[in-house]
Amino acid sequence: MDRTPAKSSKRIFIGLLFALEAIAVLVLSLFWILPSLGYRFFGTEFSSFMGWALGGLLIIITLGILTLAGIIIRGKEIPGARKLRGILIRFFLPVITVLGSILGISRDAVRRSFIEINNELVKSGGFKAPPKRILVLMPHCIQKDDCPYRITVNVRNCRQCGRCDFSRLTELADRIGVEMTVATGGTLARRVIEETRPELIVAVACERDLSSGIVETYPIPVIGVLIDRPEGPCFNTRVSVDSVEKAIGAFLLRERPSDERENSETPAP
Ligand code: SF4
């Protein structure tokens, strides 16, 4: 039986984005209203300059947040908005994680929401690569704790005994022909990425490792798949193999069969 991870919601992130917008309006308004008497002291021109500057900043922030919310709701990137994924990753994620904690929303709930949004943006970005250019990064904790085989060195050391999800995962990697690596931490994952230089990554991990991995590997497109922790963190964890296969499938550049290629290349009589 395949396992399906708990569904998270984009609404958490969108709600926090609008909370951030409300804070920006409040702070910039205060920056304008409170010292406006002081601005006038430097002359009416300086006062109106500050009004335009703060108003302009507010418009930029508002447009950025509205565009981002629009992309998230539609689940599609709009032309020229690819860089917004970078802004979402580098700027909004840390700010919104802090804001979420202040509002009593757990870090993992915000991270799950972020990973879901990131996955949709990446999928809608139309990134494709042949299997050899796709790296599948797995966490070590999926391996059965008493398994004697060292799959961190080579995942093909797995004997596919069926006691953990690596049984089906290694079969999946062989069938599709993607590179699958087991990383025991962020440092090793970074080294593997530097050495293999993948075009696209499917990463399996917990909320914390996935969200930090997506941030660190940007701009490489990453689809994240969350693990289940039926026996607690970092111990005999599980993953939906179907979800991993779907994530790889979203990236896979399928070669046309040779006879189909030949037919399309043969000019019509
Ligand atoms: S499926 Fe592979 S990794 Fe898992 S317990 Fe069996 S041999 Fe070990």
Residues 117 and 150 both lie in one domain: no
Residues 160 and 188 both lie in one domain: yes
d(CA 186, ligand 1 centre) in Å: 23
Q: Is the CB of 166 under 6 A from ligand 1?
A: yes
Residues 88 and 110 both lie in one domain: yes
Domain of 234 in residue numbering reads as 128-251
**What atom in ligand 1 is closest to the CA of residue 151?**
3
Q: Within a domain: residue 257?
A: no
Identify the band that residue 5 occupies on the pLDDT scale cut at 50, 70 and 90.
very low
Residues 66 and 19 both lie in one domain: yes
Average pLDDT in the 6-18 region?
A: 75
Q: Within a domain: residue 76?
A: yes
Residues 109 and 148 both lie in one domain: no
d(CA 172, ligand 1 centre) in Å: 14
Cis peptide before 219 (omega within 30 of 0): yes
Q: Within a domain: residue 267?
A: no
Read off the tokens for 180. Answer: 């699958």
Residues 224 and 177 both lie in one domain: yes
Q: Within a domain: residue 256?
A: no
CB 173 within 8 A of CB 204: no
What's the mean pLDDT when you consider all of the chain? 83
Domain limit, last residue, from 63, 93, 121: 121
Picking from 113, 255, 122, 117, the residue whose alpha carbon sits closest to that of residue 201 is 122
Domain limit, last residue, from 61, 92, 121: 121
> For the whole model, what pTM was predicted?
0.80
pLDDT tens digit string along 227-237? 999 999 999 99
pLDDT tens digit string along 112-121? 999 988 888 8
Picking from 217, 162, 161, the residue whose alpha carbon sits closest to that of residue 189 is 217
Split into its structural domains, the chain has a count of 2
Residues 150 and 43 both lie in one domain: no
Residues 148 and 99 both lie in one domain: no
pLDDT score of 145 = 96
Q: Tell me, what CATH number does 229's domain have?
A: 3.40.50
Q: Is the CB of 237 under 6 A from ligand 1?
A: no
